C-alpha cells in the first residue's frame, strides 16, 4: 500500500521538479508545433501559388535590384561586379546635382499638387453632391481628365506652353493682354517648367479625388444633418462638424495615395520637359529611366530606385503615425 502510494506520488514529485516542468513544456510545444504544421499544411495549397508569384515577381526583382545597386552591371553579359556603395556615392555627389534636383522636385510636386487635389476634389465633390440636376454631367466632366491618355494631355499642355507665339499662354500674355513683352519658353525654364508639370498632375488627378469624396459624401447618413438642423446648425456648421468630420478617413486615404503617387511622377516630365533645363525639372523616376536607358548606368538607376522606395516607406510610416490612421479608421467607422 505504501509502495503503491509511493509510486502514485512519484509523478506529483516530478511535477514539482525542474525536469518535470521541462518535459511538460516539451510536450506542450510539440503539440503546438504539430498543430502549427497541420495548420500550415492545410493553408499551404492556398497560399503557395501566391507566395511563389510574390517571390518571383516582387521579392526576387527587389533583391536583384539591391544587388545591382551595389554593382557594376553589364547587361549583355549579365556580368555583375560588386562595387560597394560607389553607385550611391556617384549619384549623391554628382557635380550637376541632378539627383538632388530630382529629389527636391518630387517633394515639391507633393507639396503643391496634393493640397490642390485634396481640397479641389473635396470642394467639387461637395458642390456636385448638392446639385439638384446635372450631377452625372459634372461627374463625367471632372472624371474625363483621369481617363484621358497622359500622352494626349501632354500634347495639349505642350501646345499651351509652347515657347513662341504658337503657344496659347504666350499668345494670351504677349499678343492679347500685353502683360509680357517677349515670348517665354515656359517648358525650358526651371520654375515655369515645374509649374506646368504640377498643373498637369493636379488637373489630371482632381477628378479621381472628387469621385472618391463623392462616394464618401453619399455614405454620410442624412439623419446627422437632420439632427443638426433641429439643433439650429447653419450651413458652415454642418459642413465643418458633419461633412468634414465624416470625410476625414477618406481625406487621409486620398492624402496617402497622392503623396505616394508623387514619387511615381514620370510621364508628364518625360513628355513635357525631359528634365530640362539641366535636370532642374527632373524627378527621380525620370532620372532612373535616363540613367538606365540613356546611359547604361544600371547600378546608379537601381540605387535611385531604392532610394525612392525607401523614401516612400519612410513617408508612409510617418504619415501612418502622424495621422494615426488606425484611430481615424475606427473613428470613421463610428461616424
Partner 1 sequence: MTFKKWTALLIAMMMVVGTLAACSSAPAEATAAAEPEATQEVVASEPEATAEPFTLVFWHTYGDGEEEQFKNVVLPMWNELHPEITIEAVRQDGGQYHEMIVTSFGTGQSPDVARIDIVNTAAYASQGGLVALSDYEDFAALKDTFLEGPLSTNLYQGGYYGLPLDTNCKAAVINTAIMKDLGIEGAPATMEEFIAAAETRGTYSLNVSGVGDWDLYPYFWLFGGSLTDEGFTKASGYLDGADSVAAIQTMLDLHAKKVFTIRDVDGSVDAWDGINSEYAMFFEGPWFFGSYEERLSQGIIAATIPTYNGRSASVVGGENIAVFATSKHTDAAYEFAKFMTSEAVQLAMLEKGQLPVLKSLVNNETVLNNPVWSVYMAQLESASARIPSPNNEQIKQVWSDAMTEIFVNGADVQTTLTAAAQQMDGLLG
| Grid coordinates belonging to 197 | 508639370
Contact 273, 196 (CB under 8 A): yes
Contact 299, 73 (CB under 8 A): yes
> What sign does the CA torsion over 52, 56, 59, 63 have?
positive
- Answer for which of 52, 63, 147, 215 binds partner 1 (CB under 8 A) is 52
> Shortest gap between Cβ of 123 and partner 1 (angstroms)?
35
Q: How far apart are CA 28 and CA 34, in angstroms?
A: 10
* 307 backbone φψ class: left, alpha, beta (φ>0; ψ -120 to 50): alpha
- Answer for which of 296, 321, 326, 330 binds partner 1 (CB under 8 A) is 296
Q: Which is nearer to partner 1, 18 or 45 (CB)?
A: 45
- Answer for which of 8, 42, 230, 322 binds partner 1 (CB under 8 A) is 42
Q: How far apart are CA 303 and CA 84, in angstroms?
A: 11
163 binds partner 1 (CB under 8 A): yes
44 binds partner 1 (CB under 8 A): yes
Please choose, out of 12-20, 107-115, 159-167, 238-246, the segment that lies near partner 1 by the rule CB under 8 A. 159-167
Q: Which is nearer to partner 1, 12 or 77 (CB)?
A: 77
77 binds partner 1 (CB under 8 A): yes
Q: Which is nearer to partner 1, 30 or 166 (CB)?
A: 166
- Answer for which of 131, 293, 320, 324 binds partner 1 (CB under 8 A) is 293
- Answer for which of 103, 142, 183, 203 binds partner 1 (CB under 8 A) is 183
> Shortest gap between Cβ of 277 and partner 1 (angstroms)?
5
| Grid coordinates belonging to 328 | 481615424
184 binds partner 1 (CB under 8 A): yes
Task: Provide the 3-class DSSP secondary structure of residue 160.
Answer: helix
Q: How far apart are CA 72 and CA 87, in angstroms?
A: 8
# residues near partner 1 by CB under 8 A: 38
93 binds partner 1 (CB under 8 A): no
Q: Which is nearer to partner 1, 36 or 134 (CB)?
A: 36
Q: How far apart are CA 250 and CA 220, in angstroms?
A: 12
Q: How far apart are CA 169 and CA 212, in angstroms?
A: 32
- Helix spans in 161-273 (H): 168-170, 190-218, 222-230, 235-238, 245-262, 267-272
Q: Which is nearer to partner 1, 127 or 168 (CB)?
A: 168
61 binds partner 1 (CB under 8 A): no
> Shortest gap between Cβ of 299 and partner 1 (angstroms)?
13
- Number of other CB atoms surrounding residue 41 within 10 Å: 9
149 binds partner 1 (CB under 8 A): no
* Phi, psi values for residue 74, rounded to 5°: -100, 115
- Answer for which of 30, 74, 241, 321 binds partner 1 (CB under 8 A) is 74
45 binds partner 1 (CB under 8 A): yes
166 binds partner 1 (CB under 8 A): yes
| Grid coordinates belonging to 24 | 511538460
Rg (CA), the chain: 30
- Per CB under 8 A, residues contacting partner 1 are 41-42, 44-46, 48-49, 52-53, 56, 74-79, 95-96, 163-166, 170, 182-185, 188, 276-279, 290, 292-296
Amino acid at each position: 500500500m505504501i509502495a503503491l502510494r509511493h509510486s502514485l506520488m512519484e509523478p506529483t514529485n516530478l511535477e514539482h521538479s525542474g525536469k518535470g516542468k521541462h518535459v511538460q513544456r516539451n510536450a506542450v510545444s510539440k503539440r503546438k508545433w504539430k498543430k502549427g504544421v497541420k495548420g500550415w499544411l492545410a493553408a499551404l495549397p492556398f497560399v503557395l501559388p501566391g507566395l511563389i508569384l510574390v517571390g518571383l515577381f516582387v521579392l526576387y526583382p527587389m533583391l536583384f535590384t539591391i544587388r545591382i545597386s551595389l554593382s557594376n552591371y553589364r547587361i549583355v553579359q549579365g556580368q555583375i561586379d560588386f562595387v560597394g556603395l560607389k553607385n550611391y556615392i556617384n549619384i549623391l555627389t554628382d557635380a550637376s546635382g541632378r539627383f538632388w534636383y530630382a529629389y527636391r522636385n518630387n517633394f515639391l510636386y507633393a507639396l503643391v499638387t496634393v493640397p490642390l487635389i485634396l481640397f479641389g476634389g473635396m470642394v467639387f465633390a461637395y458642390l456636385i453632391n448638392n446639385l439638384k440636376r446635372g450631377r452625372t454631367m459634372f461627374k463625367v466632366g471632372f472624371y474625363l481628365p483621369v481617363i484621358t491618355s497622359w500622352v494626349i494631355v501632354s500634347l495639349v499642355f505642350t501646345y499651351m506652353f509652347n515657347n513662341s507665339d504658337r503657344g496659347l499662354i504666350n499668345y494670351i500674355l504677349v499678343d492679347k493682354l500685353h502683360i509680357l513683352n517677349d515670348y517665354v519658353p515656359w517648358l525650358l525654364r526651371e520654375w515655369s517648367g515645374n509649374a506646368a508639370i504640377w498643373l498637369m498632375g493636379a488637373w489630371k488627378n482632381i477628378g479621381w479625388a472628387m469621385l472618391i469624396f463623392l462616394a464618401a459624401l453619399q455614405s454620410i447618413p442624412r439623419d446627422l444633418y437632420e439632427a443638426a438642423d433641429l439643433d439650429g446648425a447653419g450651413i458652415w456648421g454642418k459642413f465643418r462638424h458633419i461633412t468634414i468630420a465624416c470625410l476625414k478617413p477618406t481625406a487621409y486615404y486620398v492624402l496617402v495615395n497622392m503623396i505616394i503617387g508623387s514619387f511615381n511622377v514620370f510621364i508628364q516630365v518625360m513628355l513635357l520637359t525631359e528634365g530640362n533645363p539641366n535636370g532642374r525639372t527632373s524627378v527621380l523616376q525620370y532620372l532612373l529611366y535616363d540613367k538606365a536607358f540613356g546611359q547604361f548606368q544600371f547600378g546608379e538607376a537601381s540605387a535611385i530606385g531604392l532610394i525612392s522606395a525607401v523614401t516612400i516607406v519612410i513617408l508612409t510610416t510617418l504619415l501612418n503615425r502622424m495621422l494615426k490612421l488606425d484611430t481615424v479608421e475606427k473613428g470613421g467607422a463610428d461616424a
